[in-house]
């Protein structure tokens, strides 16, 4: 989720890189850096924090005349946000920037270390530059060395490399992470999205996975597995705001669509062929732990609730979930055989942070699940697992929730492995379902127009109930919260079996019920709960893989054999429903009234 910029040409390079990185800050920032070669001289600057810090550091530096240059703004995934971990990463005479995750970096790193290479950072990226130089020291041919390096990389990457061994060339490769090349006369630009080059380049080529090559003398030499290839450029968009949203109307919409790809990042290096691994966790983290307590707020609280079902069911470990603001003042009884888990997208939520401090004071081991490295909650915790969702701009959380839930699901399996509460058959079923998750999160072609159409029927009435059972109860809570946040309509999430104990009194044609009816978990039970509501004339929007004739509206889902796949597929439906209702009501989807993305006050 980081941002890359590159430039080859005769204009002032520092400004092009910094302006470009500024445009990419919306993708995430915890550190940034640039590297330039001109007049055979290599210059490199890095700074932690906002881009302004890098600007201050490079104030005195000018880079005029022909040269090559690369820049990067980072959102930490491997290693803390420090200057050493910031890109560009340096070898003896080359620099590299990279987005994505090199899955086999540890293996590559070990080989390089055995050859005597010293690593300065904790990143996966640094292996690329050392591998390149190792190859180059053997064959003295930069292009062959780059090709050989790329052929060894597994995982997702978009990468740029410059080297004093060939100081007029930028080497590039793309596989799984976005990168494009911009053109204006003999100037060549690289970037991870349109925005940095709008207003500078006039034409663009969007690289495909598996493409790599080099830029030299204003020309691109492009290759894929079949050898050198031709390509056609297209005109570059001119609207920056639109480009930041990748063509979507709202950041929230973009983030809903992104869920499928970010989920791959969340699982990368953790979901292995036969098990779950978290290299960031000490092996003994769960030793002597008999109980898990999770504290969180808002959407993060809902992912925690979903996790409690998984920890108990799969890992056979008792798990309680508490709203952080409640936990703080209830004088909780805490035992040191409890692992205290906090979940937070931002890592800055005051209530969650204070709850964590209380637990630490009581001597509990702590683990945070967070999207922002180096945030207060991550720093305060004994251990942390990053969700790798990339920066989330829409105030109403979508991809952060999806990735939190995935991390928690993986963690439940991880604990089950450690405690040996899962047999091989179930383990392989769970891992297989995880592998299908990115597919379950794809927005099917016909789904979004259908939700747009349906939304017009749900703009009035005296309220919404989102109902579900088991894992689908937290999802119902989250669906209702999404709708509340951006439509300002009253919505409640409820366990469907509980409707008959009170709320059913509200049922009439103006009560809208969104029923989550998965096939793989208690289908018959929830069906009869929904039938009770239909009998009282409630208006029912049913979401299910199984046709349900009594529903007023019906959204048919495709997954029907694993609850978590049904969970993720239905989650997308509820997100789109909230989005489209909000759009019809003319609300500000990305910045709803009265809400803030991160609440750092009590
Ligand atoms: C705020 C946001 C919610 C978020 C909650 C918890 O209320 O508006 O979207 O779920 O804080 O935030 P966290 O960053 O701790 O997940």
| 3-state SS assignment for residue 200 | coil
Asked whether 398 lines ligand 1 (CB < 6 A), one says no
* 576 CA from centroid of ligand 1 (Å): 19
CA angle, 458 as apex, 454 and 463 as ends, to 5°?
Answer: 145
Q: Following CA atoms 261, 375, 600, 32 in sequence, which dihedral angle do they give, to the nearest 10 degrees?
A: -70
d(CA 187, CA 66): 10
CA angle, 601 as apex, 24 and 594 as ends, to 5°?
Answer: 70
Predicted pLDDT of residue 594: 84
Per-residue three-class SS string for 122-152: CCCCHHHHHHHHHHHHHHCCHHHHHHHHHHH
526 and 591 assigned to the same domain: yes
7 and 154 assigned to the same domain: yes
d(CA 85, CA 508): 59
- The pick from 402, 598, 602 for probing ligand 1's pocket by mutation, whose C-beta has the most ligand atoms within 8 angstroms, reads 598
Give the domain range for residue 52.
Answer: 3-238
- The pick from 349, 493, 594 for probing ligand 1's pocket by mutation, whose C-beta has the most ligand atoms within 8 angstroms, reads 349
531 and 509 assigned to the same domain: yes
Predicted pLDDT of residue 247: 84
pLDDT over 80 (residue 602): no
284 and 406 assigned to the same domain: yes
255 and 229 assigned to the same domain: no
Predicted pLDDT of residue 372: 86
Asked whether 477 lines ligand 1 (CB < 6 A), one says no
Among 385, 407, 441, the domain boundary falls at: 441
* 344 CA from centroid of ligand 1 (Å): 7
Two tokens at 309?
Answer: 């079902």
| 3-state SS assignment for residue 169 | strand
pTM of the entire structure? 0.81
Predicted pLDDT of residue 366: 97
Among 216, 238, 260, the domain boundary falls at: 238
pLDDT band at 204 (very low <50, low <70, confident <90, very high): very high
Looking from the CA of residue 346, the nearest atom of ligand 1 is 14
Q: Whose CA is nearest to atom 3 of ligand 1?
A: 298
CA angle, 379 as apex, 375 and 383 as ends, to 5°?
Answer: 115
Predicted pLDDT of residue 1: 59
- Strand pairing category for 31-38 and 67-74: antiparallel
Looking from the CA of residue 400, the nearest atom of ligand 1 is 16
383 and 516 assigned to the same domain: no
Two tokens at 139?
Answer: 């064959």
Q: Whose CA is nearest to atom 7 of ligand 1?
A: 298
Among 221, 238, 255, the domain boundary falls at: 238
Mean pLDDT lowest for which of 69-78, 265-274, 284-293, 336-345? 69-78
503 and 483 assigned to the same domain: yes
Q: What CATH number should be reported for the domain holding residue 44? A: 3.60.20.10
- Summary mean pLDDT of the chain: 93
213 and 256 assigned to the same domain: no
pLDDT over 90 (residue 299): yes
Mean pLDDT, rounded, for 54-69: 92
What confidence tens digit (pLDDT) does each residue in 378-419 have? 999 999 999 999 889 899 999 999 999 999 999 999 999 999
Tokens 């009170």 -> residue: 502
d(CA 1, CA 272): 22
Predicted pLDDT of residue 525: 95
292 and 399 assigned to the same domain: yes
Predicted pLDDT of residue 454: 96
Cα dist from 286 to 315, 339, 563, whole Å: 11, 8, 26
pLDDT over 80 (residue 498): yes
pLDDT over 80 (residue 109): yes
* 358 CA from centroid of ligand 1 (Å): 20
Number of structural domains (the chain) is 3
pLDDT band at 526 (very low <50, low <70, confident <90, very high): very high
Contact 38, 63 (CB under 8 A): yes
* Catalytic-residue membership of 2: yes
Contact 3, 21 (CB under 8 A): yes
Q: What CATH number should be reported for the domain holding residue 402? A: 3.40.50.10490
What confidence tens digit (pLDDT) does each residue in 220-256 have? 999 999 999 999 999 988 777 777 888 899 999 999 9
- Strand pairing category for 512-516 and 464-468: parallel
Predicted pLDDT of residue 315: 96
More confident residue, 30 or 446: 446
Backbone angles phi, psi at 204, to 5 degrees: -145, 150
pLDDT over 70 (residue 472): yes
| 3-state SS assignment for residue 292 | strand
Two tokens at 396?
Answer: 């109403």
Among residues 2, 295, 370, 534, which one is catalytic? 2
What confidence tens digit (pLDDT) does each residue in 49-58 have? 889 999 999 9
427 and 505 assigned to the same domain: no
pLDDT band at 65 (very low <50, low <70, confident <90, very high): confident
Mean pLDDT, rounded, for 71-79: 83
d(CA 580, CA 243): 21
318 and 307 assigned to the same domain: yes
Omega prior to 233 cis, within 30 of 0: no
More confident residue, 518 or 329: 518
Predicted pLDDT of residue 23: 85
CA nearest neighbour of 78 among 34, 142, 31: 31
Asked whether 352 lines ligand 1 (CB < 6 A), one says yes
Predicted pLDDT of residue 2: 80
* 300 CA from centroid of ligand 1 (Å): 7
What confidence tens digit (pLDDT) does each residue in 111-166 have? 999 999 999 988 889 999 999 999 999 999 999 999 999 999 998 899 999 999 99
Residues whose CB falls within 8 Å of the CB of residue 180, separated by 6 or more in sequence, listed in order: 190, 191, 192, 193, 194, 197, 204, 205, 206, 207
d(CA 560, CA 443): 17
Mean pLDDT lowest for which of 442-451, 459-468, 554-563? 459-468
pLDDT band at 63 (very low <50, low <70, confident <90, very high): confident
Predicted pLDDT of residue 123: 87
Cα dist from 85 to 89, 97, 161, 169, whole Å: 8, 11, 17, 25
170 and 44 assigned to the same domain: yes
* 469 CA from centroid of ligand 1 (Å): 24
Predicted pLDDT of residue 156: 85
* Catalytic-residue membership of 370: no
């Amino acid at each position: 989720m980081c941002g890359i910029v590159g430039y080859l040409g005769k204009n002032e390079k520092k400004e092009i890189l910094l302006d470009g990185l500024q445009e990419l800050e919306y993708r995430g920032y915890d550190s940034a850096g640039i590297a330039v070669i001109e007049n055979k001289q290599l210059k490199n600057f890095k700074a932690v924090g906002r881009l302004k810090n890098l600007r201050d550091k490079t104030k005195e530096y000018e880079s005029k005349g022909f040269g090559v240059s690369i820049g990067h703004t980072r959102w930490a995934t491997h290693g803390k946000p420090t200057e050493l971990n910031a890109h560009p990463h340096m070898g003896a005479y080359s620099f590299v920037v990279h987005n994505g995750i090199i899955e086999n970096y540890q293996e590559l790193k070990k080989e390089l270390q055995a050859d005597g290479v010293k690593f300065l950072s904790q990143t996966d990226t640094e292996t690329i530059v050392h591998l390149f130089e190792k190859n180059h020291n053997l064959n003295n041919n930069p292009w062959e060395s780059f090709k050989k390096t790329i052929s060894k990389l597994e995982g997702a990457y978009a990468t740029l490399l410059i080297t004093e061994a060939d100081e007029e060339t930028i080497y590039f490769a793309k596989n799984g992470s976005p990168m494009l090349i911009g053109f204006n006369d003999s100037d060549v630009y690289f970037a991870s999205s349109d925005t940095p080059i709008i207003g500078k380049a006039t034409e663009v080529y969007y690289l495909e996975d598996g493409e790599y090559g080099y830029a030299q003398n204003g020309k691109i030499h492009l290759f894929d597995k079949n050898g050198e290839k031709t390509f056609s450029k297209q005109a570059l968009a001119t609207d920056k705001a639109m480009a930041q949203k990748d063509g979507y109307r709202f950041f929230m919409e973009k983030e809903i669509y992104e869920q499928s790809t970010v989920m791959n990042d969340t699982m990368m290096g953790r979901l292995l062929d036969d098990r779950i691994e978290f290299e960031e966790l000490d092996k003994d983290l769960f030793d002597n732990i008999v109980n898990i307590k999770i504290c969180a707020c808002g959407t993060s609280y809902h992912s925690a609730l979903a996790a409690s079902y998984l920890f108990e069911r799969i890992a056979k470990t008792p798990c309680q979930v508490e709203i952080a603001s409640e936990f703080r003042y209830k004088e909780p009884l805490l035992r040191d055989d409890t692992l205290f888990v906090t979940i937070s997208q931002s890592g800055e939520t005051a209530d969650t942070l204070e709850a964590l401090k209380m637990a630490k004071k009581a001597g509990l081991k702590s683990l945070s699940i967070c999207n922002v490295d180096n945030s207060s909650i991550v720093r305060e915790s004994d251990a942390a697992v990053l969700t790798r969702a990339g920066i989330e701009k829409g105030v109403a959380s979508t991809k952060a929730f999806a990735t939190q839930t995935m991390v928690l699901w993986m963690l439940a399996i991880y604990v089950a492995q450690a405690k040996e509460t899962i047999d091989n058959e179930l383990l392989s079923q769970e891992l297989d379902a995880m592998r299908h998750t990115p597919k379950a999160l794809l927005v099917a072609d016909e789904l979004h127009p259908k939700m747009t159409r349906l939304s017009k029927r749900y703009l009035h009435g005296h309220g919404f109930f989102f109902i579900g059972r088991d894992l689908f109860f937290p999802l119902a809570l989250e669906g209702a919260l999404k709708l509340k946040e951006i439509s300002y309509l009253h919505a409640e999430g409820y366990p469907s079996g509980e409707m008959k104990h009170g709320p059913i009194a509200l049922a009439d044609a103006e009560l809208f019920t969104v029923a989550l009816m998965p096939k793989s978990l208690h289908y018959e039970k929830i069906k009869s709960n929904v039938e009770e509501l239909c009998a009282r004339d409630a208006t029912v929007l049913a979401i299910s893989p199984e046709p349900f004739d009594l529903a007023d509206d019906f959204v048919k889902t495709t997954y029907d054999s694993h609850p978590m796949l049904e969970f993720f597929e239905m989650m997308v439906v509820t997100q789109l429903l909230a989005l489209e209702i909000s759009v019809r009501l003319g609300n500000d989807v990305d910045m709803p009234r009265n809400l803030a993305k991160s609440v750092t006050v009590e």
